[in-house]
Amino acid sequence: MNMSYKVAILTVSDRGSAGLREDLSGPAIHDFLKSSKVDFQLISRTIVPDEQEKIIQMLRLWSDDHIPLILTTGGTGFSPRDITPEATLAVIERQAPGFAEAMRSESRKITPHAMISRAVSGIRKQSLIINLPGSIKGVQECLAVIFPALPHALDKLMGDQSDCGR
């Protein structure tokens, strides 16, 4: 197990990128990762508007820079400008649907609004990209669901050849 992973966090928000609203979900992701026993090194945390090309640009930049974990927050709902999943699908080479499925399944036990999440997850090069909700509560709940699988998934993505059934 590697035990040290680079991470980048992308907040997708029109108002946040314009300075009209404080980004709370991006820092919440960072706080969650810092509080874990796993060493996550924050490489970048950026805010972009709900514009597909700007999202794609950041996801490509970070995956080209070999950042193993890229977490997005925001833009996964039904609003007309919520296009984070479409931007992610335009970038990834392989889907990793288990993360988004698990988040929706467990979140549904807390709120029926989990059904309107269109979050996706997938792999580009050696980067795992996971869409998270845009709220602090949603970020914390969803990270708690997927966190147990993240280190193993990242190790495998980064080339760990050991057997999975230990």
Q: Render each residue's pLDDT in the chain as its tens digit; 166 residues.
A: 557 999 999 999 999 999 999 999 999 999 999 999 999 999 999 999 999 999 999 999 999 999 999 999 999 999 999 999 999 999 999 999 999 999 999 999 999 999 999 999 999 999 999 999 999 999 999 999 999 999 999 999 999 888 776 5
Report how far residue 5's alpha carbon sits from residue 21's, in angstroms, rounded to the nearest whole number: 29
Helix 136-146, helix 97-108: angle, nearest 10: 120
DSSP 148: G
Q: What is the CATH number of domain 4-157?
A: 3.40.980.10
| pTM as predicted | 0.96
Q: Which residues partner with 70 through β-bridges?
A: 8, 129
Burial (CB count <10 Å: 0-12, 13-18, 19+), residue 105: exposed
Contact 71, 33 (CB under 8 A): no
